[in-house]
C-alpha cells in the first residue's frame, strides 16, 4: 500500500511539472512570435514612403521583380529610368547587382497574394 501511495504522489508531481513546462514553453513561443512580427513590420517599406534608396540585390528577368536591400519591388510596365521613359523589359536588363539606386515608389500591386510596391521611376546613382 505504501508503494502505491508513493507512486501516485510521483505521478501527480510529474503531471504537474509537465503541465508547468508546457505552459512556460507556450508562453515563450507566443512572445517570440509577437516580437518577430513587430520586427518584420518595423523594417518593411511603409505604404506612405514615396522614395526609396538602396543597393540592388537581384533583378528577376521573368517576373520583373527587383530586390533592393532585401525588399521586393515590382516594375511598372513603363517607367522612368535615368530621366527617360523605358519599358520594364529594357530596365531589368540594364540593372546590375550592386547598383545604388534611388526609386520613386507607386502603389501596391497584388502579385500572387503578396503585396509589393511598384516602382514608377529609377535613377542609378553609381553607374
**Could you read off the pLDDT of 20-37 as tens digits, one per residue?**
888 888 877 776 655 444
For position 101, what pLDDT does the model report? 94
Query: Rounded to two decimals, what is the model's pTM?
Result: 0.60
Contacts of 81 (CB under 8 A, 6+ apart): 90, 91, 94, 121, 122, 123
CB within 8 A of 83, min separation 6: which ones? 123
Radius of gyration of the chain (CA): 26
Q: Taking the chain, what is the end-to-end CA distance rounded to the nearest angstrom?
A: 87
Kind and range of the H or E run holding 100: strand 100-111
pLDDT of residue 114: 65
Amino acid at each position: 500500500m505504501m508503494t502505491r501511495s508513493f507512486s501516485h504522489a510521483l505521478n501527480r508531481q510529474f503531471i504537474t511539472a509537465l503541465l508547468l513546462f508546457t505552459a512556460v514553453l507556450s508562453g515563450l513561443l507566443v512572445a517570440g512570435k509577437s516580437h518577430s512580427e513587430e520586427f518584420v513590420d518595423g523594417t518593411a517599406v511603409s505604404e506612405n514612403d514615396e522614395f526609396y534608396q538602396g543597393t540592388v540585390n537581384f533583378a528577376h528577368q521573368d517576373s520583373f521583380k527587383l530586390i533592393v536591400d532585401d525588399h521586393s519591388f515590382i516594375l511598372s510596365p513603363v517607367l522612368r529610368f535615368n530621366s527617360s521613359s523605358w519599358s520594364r523589359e529594357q530596365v531589368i536588363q540594364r540593372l546590375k547587382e550592386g547598383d545604388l539606386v534611388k526609386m520613386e515608389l507607386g502603389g501596391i500591386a497584388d502579385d500572387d497574394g503578396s503585396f509589393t510596391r511598384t516602382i514608377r521611376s529609377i535613377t542609378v546613382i553609381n553607374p
